A and B are shown apart, each in its own frame.
Chain A
Amino acid sequence: MNEALTLEALIEQIQSGDHNVRAAARDNAGQVGAPAIAPLAEIAADPDPGKFEIARSANRAMQNIVYHAGRPGAADEARAVSAELIQLVGAEPPLQFRRDVMWMIWQIAGAEAVEPVAALLGNPDLRDDARMCLEGLPAAEAVAALRAGLAAAPDDFKPAVAHSLRKRGVDVPDVPDLRLVPTKQTSVTPVGR
């Protein structure tokens, strides 16, 4: 591990045109921790098509920070990282980046993430990611948010929320389970028939 990696060095190296430099920064990002989340997020959310590999490196550096901060005995670091991630879900970043952030949140956050994530259950583009995030969060508040989300959900979203509640041990008898219901037709016809 590069013991000397600072926040400034990480942010500089993660934007390097040399993928070997970026990879080393990405792999060592964990030690920099929560202070790197916001500046990395800015890079990861950059829509410039010419910088998509740099954005990818920054995104993966964020994930590595999540992994590192989630280690046993590092609860303070985990809370700090969670707090930084939560700042990102409700803002302006591109949809896919916000999906990525919610995927990181359930891996590390606690009850503090429930409210901002639950607020996205009403967002047609992000609601299923928000549902998955709440499903993965072990906090009891996440179950309560899913219950509230079910009550408020439009009919086409209720089965998904009900599934998450069932996974969390909640009986939801009044919402259909559509897992086994086929929906997609092919345009291919049997050859030779």
Chain B
Amino acid sequence: MTDRKVRVPRRGFLKTAGAATATAFAAPYLVPSGAMAANEKLTFGHIGVGGMGGAHLRGIKSRMDRGEANIAAVCDVDERRLENASRMAGPQADVYRDYRYVIERDDIDAVVISTPDHLHAVQTVHAAECGKHVYVEKPACCTVEEGKAMIEACNRAKIAVQVGSQGRSQPEAYLSHRYLANGNIGRVTRVDCWHYPSPSGGTQRDGEPPEHVDWDLWLGPLRWRPFNPGYLHGTFRWVMESGGGQIRDRGAHVMSCAMWWMGADGTGPVTVEATGEAPRRGLWDSAVRINVTYTFKNPDWVLTWNQPGKPVPPEERTGREPGGRISRPGYGALYTGTEGTFHHWGGDGGTWAERKAREWEPGPDAEDVYRSPGHMDDWFIGIRTGKKTIMNVEAGADVAILTVLGNLAFLLGRKLQWDHSKREIVGDEQARRLMDRPERYPYVI
């Protein structure tokens, strides 16, 4: 790859990205502070403004209304969504179809990327090359090589990145993490995630894209194919190339919590094996049912993704708990240790810990763990101080790569060997090729 220029961020406030080594349950990655004034407003561009993108835009708009932020641009390939976003953001925000107009602007400090999964990596890399701080929705990447490119580009640009696996930042995630970190169930040897199946569908024929959607930009790096209504909006998630199913959507949440709480950021499995069942018809080809086993070494533990698996019935709650009532009990994880078990439900914006973790009172010698002020706020801290974010680009890419490897093992029907030190599959030439995929020009990393 040829060397590429990286534009310096508008405010050169980030110092070295060299992070302190993270111990198993330590506070995350404190690095020397930069120089941005705490009261200096950040200026944002929003790329992808439907679904979660709309929620993020509302959140930043609230901050703007409090005088804490500026929104300079909103961008979407769907003009109806764009018009709605313009209405929400206010008349000061310029509107764009092509995200590259947003990232080339010198007055924008940071971008919030909430596009379909297959655009996350290319847009993050491009934004990094333009010196923008990035909040990007999960899963971070669709291929191993995308993830590696994101890490390389973001570290080179010394930007703050937050990947949208916001489960790590939930109040009961902190309680779960603290409970496990203090050995309440002994040494954890297994984490078994459960989730209800992915849907079947997408049975309509190909056709012409709606006039208000730019199909070329929507496809971005994906190889060309005719429009099909089964791709959008939101349902891209059930197509392997653009989404990858529940294991990637919610796996990027539930397994993110597991990696964080296990102190396993920066590590990866040594083997990945999977079984499952693809939909029997329709465009959507992500596994309806899939069971993946990830084996980790040094320390030894096993992570499994079980779709559907064995859900733990939700506990009774009053609604006054830190995370409130359990509204999404259909996914979560069971942690098995040498001295007991622990489970949680959810793992995303709703993360609910088993009662014993919520009620555990730490003693004077207890180890505390990092308590995120909120996923967006943690990102802002990263931007202002240089502190590595709770779901930084390495962590985000590595969790996404877990989900990629699970799907790849399922598609290939064979066990994969993984060398995390190089982030490479070993011993399988075809699987190694499939760590990457060629991209359609000009939407290339």
Contact = CB atoms under 8 A, between A and B. Distances in A.
Contact of A53 (B103, B203, B430): B203
A128 B1 contact: no
A136 B436 contact: yes
B438 A136 contact: yes
Q: Report whether over half of chain B's contact residues are helix, strand or loop; otherwise say mixed.
A: loop
A132 B2 contact: no
Interface in B382-414: 411-414
A138 B428 CA distance: 14
16 contacts: A19-B281, A27-B278, A49-B205, A52-B205, A56-B283, A67-B412, A70-B412, A128-B441, A131-B438, A131-B441, A138-B433, A159-B442, A179-B443, A182-B101, A184-B216, A184-B217
Given A99-B225, A180-B103, A188-B83, 4 more contacts: A52-B206, A67-B411, A179-B443, A186-B79
B82 to A, nearest CB: 5
A185 interface: yes
A86 to B, nearest CB: 17
B412 A193 contact: no
Contacts of B103: 180
Contact of A188 (B82, B411, B414, B438): B82
B413 A184 contact: no
Contacts of B280: 19-20, 22-23
Interface string B411-431: 111100000000000011111
B82 A186 contact: yes
B433 to A, nearest CB: 6
Given A129-B224, A164-B438, A180 B129 contact: yes
Contact of B97 (A159, A171, A184): A184
Shortest beta-carbon contacts, A-B, top 7: A70-B430, A132-B438, A160-B441, A23-B280, A182-B100, A186-B97, A192-B91
Instruction: Determine the main DSSP class of A at the interface with B.
Output: helix
B209 interface: no
B433 A107 contact: yes
A193 B91 contact: yes
Interface string A30-61: 10000000000000000001001100110010
Nearest to B280: A23
B106 interface: no
A182 B104 contact: yes
A2 interface: no
Size range of the interface on B? 35 or more
Interface string A57-98: 100100000011011100000100000000000000000100
B232 to A, nearest CB: 17
Interface in A133-188: 133, 135-136, 138, 159-160, 163-164, 166-167, 169, 171-172, 178-188
B439 interface: yes
Most buried by B among A107, A185, A186: A186
B344 interface: no
Nearest to A183: B98
Nearest to B440: A128
A128 B440 CA distance: 7
B444 A67 contact: no
A172 B4 CA distance: 12
- Which residue, of A30, A163, A188, A192, has the highest number of chain B Cβ atoms within 10 A? A188
B28 to A, nearest CB: 31
Given A56-B281, A103-B223, A188-B86, A166 B438 contact: no
A30 B413 CA distance: 10
